[in-house]
Structures are given as C-alpha cells and as structure tokens.
Amino acid sequence: TVHKFSRGSNNYFPQYKLMDLSRKLLGQWMFEKLMKMTFYGQFVAGEDHNSIKPLIRKNEAFGVGSVLDYSVEEDLTQEEAEKKEMDSCVSEAEKESPGADHREKKYKAHRQFGDRRGGVISARTYFYADEAKCDIQMETFINCIKASGGASNDGFSAIKMTALGRPQFLLQFSEVLVKWRRFFNFLAAQQGKSQMTVLEQKLELEQLKESLTELGVGAKDDIENWFTGEKLGLSGTIDLLDWNSLINDTTKISNLLMVPNLQTGHLEPLLNIFTEEEERQMKRMLQRVDILAKHAVENGVRLMVDAEQTYFQPAISRLTLEMQRKFNREKPVIFNTYQCYLKEAYDNVTLDVELSRREGWYFGAKLVRGAYMYQERARAKEIGYEDPINPDYEATNRMYHKCLEYVLEEIEHSRKANVMVATHNEDTVKFTLDKMNEMGLSPTENKVYFGQLLGMCDQISFPLGQAGFPVYKYVPYGPVNEVIPYLSRRAQENRGFMKGSQRERSLLWKELKRRLLAGQIIYKPVY
C-alpha cells in the first residue's frame, strides 16, 4: 500500500525519467522547444501572464473563458516530501509528548502518506517550508488574480489553502469542526432526532441546556450565555447552523481548538499547549486568505478555492465560508469546491446553501467528482477509519446530480446561487442543460457555468461556448521546468482520460472530412 499510493517522487514516473533523459540529450533550449510543441503545449497556456494572453483571447473568441491556475510544483523526492509534511503537520506539544493529546488518527500526519502527491489526479500539491515561502506563494496568487483581471472581464483565479500556511492548523481545525458536529449528532440522538435529515434536526433548547449541564460541558451560567445571542434560541430550538456559529474566533485562535470529551463531560483543548509561534502561524494563514479575497474584489475576479484531502477539507470549507459571508454580499466573488465522491457531499452543500439563504449572501460553488480517491481510500484502510468515498462511480454520479439539482433549484428559487459544473462527463452536461431548460434558466443569466481542463474535452467546451453558455477552461501556466513535475503526474494519473481521447480523435476526423468536402478549411469563430 505504501509504495503504491505514496509514489509522489518523480523517480516513480517513467515519463518523467524520459523527459529528464530528453533534457540531457537535447539540451535545455531544445527540450523546452520540444515540450512547447507537444506535451506542455497541449495542457499549459504559457510561461507567464503575458505569454498566456493570446490563448485566452483565442478561447474567448469562441465564447470560452478562463480559470487561471499557476501550476508550478516543487520537484521533491518522496523522502523530502514526507519530511516536510511531518515537520509541518506535527505540533510542538505532539513532539514533546506523543500520544498525550486527544487527537484522532485521521487528523494526524502519517509518514507513509506524507507525500500527498501519490495517487492524485489533476491536483497541484504544496508542501510547507516556512512562513516566507507562504508569503511568496500568496504573492504568486495575487499576480495570478491580477493577470486574470487583466486578461478577461469575467475570469476566475484558483487558489489552494495548503499554499497559504502551515497545514498543522488545517488538520487541527478540521478535527475540531468534525468533533463538534459529532457532538451535535450525539445530542440530537439524545432527543430522538437521529433519523432526521441534517437540516431537520432541531434541538429543544431547554432540554439541550440540561444535557450540557449534566455532561459538565461548562458552568450553567456559561451555557446560558452561549445561547443569548441575537439569533440563537429565539425559536426555542437550535439547529446545526446555529450550533456551528458557536465556534467563533473570539480572542485567541487556540480557543477555537476546544473540543467536548464525552467520556469526561468537559471541554478540553485538542493539544496540551499552543506555542506563540503556532498561534501566529494560524493567524497569518487567515490574513493571507483575506488579502487574496480583497485583491479579487479589486480586480473584478472570482476566486475559486480548490478542494483538498478530507483531513484538511472541513477547515478549508469553513474558512472559505467565512470569506463568502464577508465578500459575497453584493455578488458571488468566492467559490467553494465540493467533491461529490464524498459520502457527506450533499449534507455539506445543503447546509452551506441554507446558511447563505438565512444570511442573505451569494452562494458560489464548483462541483467536481474529486481528485484524491485512491489516496483517500488507501489511507482510510491502512490507518483504520471509515472510507469517506462513495462505494462506486455510479454512487458518485448520483451524488453529483443530487447536489447539482439542489443548487439549480436554489438558483431557480432565489437567483442568488451560482454553480460551476466542472466535469468532463457528457451525460452530466446534458443533465444540466435539460434541468436549465425545465427551470427556464437562461445561459445569459450567468448563474450556471461549465468547466473543463485546458487541452481536454474540447468537444464539450467549445460547442457550449459557441451556443452562448458560460464555459471556462482551467488554464494552467508557468515555466516549463517548474510545471513539468505536476504535468508528469497528471499524465500518469489521467491514463483513464486518454481512453476517452479516441472519441475526440474520431470527432476531429469527422470535422476535417466535413471541412474538406465543404471547402471550409479555415474556420472563423462567430464571436
């Protein structure tokens, strides 16, 4: 299992070895020229924000927009990646007293899965070095946002939270959020409401206060104060969204990392101690996220927060949600990503839509199937926790369509939600078009977008763009040598997509024959 799924080092990829050999034989200049004519040229737009402009303009001529994605990835060996991950995911308290905390194994770093590149499809991976490196990566994202704003009127820019701070905080905060949600489920079961859907579970407030007092979770006066906010408890009940709002950034961020212990009945810190530097690292991650959101607003760009592994994702989603609450007041600027191969995807979508509805901000979502399936499955099995992934592709398909239909219904109802249908699946695209037609959702309303990767599934993207639908290509860019590590993994992991290229080839031959017979060798776009 370890070697099959932790093979992040480029030494594991035969095509990377081939590229390395080509570089030595041809020399750097000729190698780069060859890459631009072939592999790199197919999947990457260019080396910097100036060189990508011609491709962006060409795509826009066909009605296809861009999601700019600076796709540079560090060229690390597997051993280097594992060391960086362990150093950045283990706190000082854990190093001093291993096993003395209240952590769960899912939310702790494990060396055999320390190289997060293994078994991953189409996702860049960032490893933490230090705070200065995070600042550099933030500046890179700012440049990407500015490039997106300068290249088109309605572009997106993609960011990854693991590039913006020490992942230790994401692990810890994710565990806290999951434990508080589990505690809510425990209290709902006490009130006989465990069979209800997640949004139907409303706890009777007086009964809840009694339960918390009996469990010893805080003094009676403290519990009373918890529920005296303007919105809490006015109806005599409290649901999961109200409950989530209790986890609030008040003074120190380490106060967020308190969890209920059902055995002792007390609130206790997730770790025995938080150093001042760890506290500062957490705050700096939040500050970087805030700076990027402000730059997105200033440049008229929408910010797409990519999804990551399930042990980071609860924190990533919560931080993205806080950005949406702040910046999505007038229009959708911040978009969260929902991975529909997860068993909990529908619950997550419905909760976030309901929160946006209550608070009156614009919900923005990108729906994907998911990029980390093999790695997630192997990690769950090896370490010993429940597999978070749906059992098969059909179940994931159903989940994707269920989440999509829910968001489309919200758009129909309020016109305040927005969704990017990020898929290479033609059936899902047809499903979306049919639903839009049924609901009377016009493509010109710019509420439903479609997304595909650059260099793939052009037979979906360009007809949609020509027909007037908002469609976007995920546009990777960056220097040849620095993008090759990411690209080499993508080729390895996306072998399944290459089977689909037979369809593209047949369509290309069909179009070529049509043009030859019609005497239309040169095609001029209508836009």
From 252, 269, 286, the end of a domain falls on 269
Nearby residues of 72 by Cβ (< 8 Å), 6 or more positions away: 124, 140, 478, 479, 482, 483, 486
Q: What does the pLDDT read at residue 313? A: 96
Domain shared by 340 and 258, yes or no? no
Q: What does the pLDDT read at residue 512? A: 66
Q: What does the pLDDT read at residue 43? A: 79
End-to-end CA distance of the chain: 51
pLDDT tens sequence for the chain (527 residues): 333 444 444 444 445 555 666 666 766 667 667 677 666 777 788 888 888 888 998 999 999 999 998 888 787 888 999 999 999 998 777 777 766 666 789 999 999 999 998 877 667 889 999 999 999 999 999 999 998 887 767 789 999 999 999 999 899 888 888 888 888 888 888 899 888 888 888 888 888 888 877 777 666 776 777 676 545 556 788 888 887 776 654 445 555 566 777 666 566 766 656 677 777 888 898 899 999 999 999 999 999 999 999 999 999 999 999 899 999 999 999 999 999 999 999 999 999 999 999 999 999 999 999 989 999 999 999 999 999 999 999 999 999 999 999 999 999 998 899 999 999 999 999 999 999 999 999 999 999 999 998 888 888 999 999 999 999 999 888 888 778 777 766 655 445 444 545 566 676 667 667 767 776 666 554 44
CA 343 to CA 353: how far, in whole Å? 18
CA 102 to CA 179: how far, in whole Å? 11
Domain shared by 481 and 352, yes or no? yes
Tokens for 505, please give them. 């080839």
Domain shared by 208 and 107, yes or no? no
Domain shared by 391 and 479, yes or no? yes
Tell me if 440 is assigned to some domain. Answer: yes
**Count of domains observed in the chain:** 2
From 199, 234, 269, the end of a domain falls on 269
Phi/psi of residue 276, each to 5°? -60, -35
Q: What is the CATH number of the domain that holds 281?
A: 3.20.20.220
Domain shared by 330 and 206, yes or no? no
Tell me if 4 is assigned to some domain. Answer: no
Domain shared by 349 and 256, yes or no? no
Tokens for 228, please give them. 């005296």
- Closest C-alpha among 418, 500, 491, 483 to residue 451: 418
Q: If residue 421 lies in a helix (H) or strand (E), which one and from where to where? A: strand 418-422
SS (H, E, C) 358-372: HHCCCCEEEEECCCC
Tell me if 13 is assigned to some domain. Answer: no
Q: What does the pLDDT read at residue 214? A: 78
Its domain, for residue 76, covers 45-168+274-518
Nearby residues of 321 by Cβ (< 8 Å), 6 or more positions away: 336, 352, 355
Tell me if 34 is assigned to some domain. Answer: no
Tell me if 210 is assigned to some domain. Answer: yes
Domain shared by 439 and 351, yes or no? yes
Q: Is the dihedral of CA 201, 204, 205, 207 positive or negative?
A: negative
Domain shared by 147 and 232, yes or no? no
Q: What is this structure's pTM? A: 0.86
Tell me if 524 is assigned to some domain. Answer: no
**CB atoms closer than 10 angstroms to residue 124:** 24
Q: What does the pLDDT read at residue 428? A: 96
Q: What does the pLDDT read at residue 493? A: 45
Which residues, listed in sequence order, are joined to residue 338 by a DSSP beta bridge?
A: 367
From 269, 297, 330, the end of a domain falls on 269
Tell me if 10 is assigned to some domain. Answer: no
Tokens for 500, please give them. 């689909």
Angle 175-124-59 (CA atoms, 0-180°, nearest 5)? 130
SS (H, E, C) 204-234: EHHHHHHHHHHHCCCCHHHHHHHCCCCCCCC
Q: If residue 261 lies in a helix (H) or strand (E), which one and from where to where? A: strand 258-261
- Closest C-alpha among 363, 483, 480 to residue 413: 363
Whole-number Cα distances in Å, 66 to 17, 300, 400: 31, 14, 23
Q: For residue 175, which amino acid is it?
A: E
Which residues, listed in sequence order, are joined to residue 367 by a DSSP beta bridge?
A: 338, 421
- Closest C-alpha among 78, 89, 105 to residue 2: 78
Give CA torsion, residues 466, 468, 473, 477, to 10 deg. 80
Domain shared by 227 and 280, yes or no? no
Q: What is the DSSP string of 267-327?
A: EEESSS---HHHHHHHHHHHHHHHHHHHHHHHHT-EEEE----TTTHHHHHHHHHHHHHHH
Q: What does the pLDDT read at residue 238? A: 83
Angle 151-153-154 (CA atoms, 0-180°, nearest 5)? 110
Domain shared by 157 and 135, yes or no? yes
Domain shared by 248 and 305, yes or no? no
Tell me if 22 is assigned to some domain. Answer: no
Residues 421, 451 contacting (CB under 8 angstroms): yes
Q: What is the DSSP string of 329-354?
A: SSS--EEEEEETTBTTHHHHHHHHHH
Domain shared by 206 and 333, yes or no? no
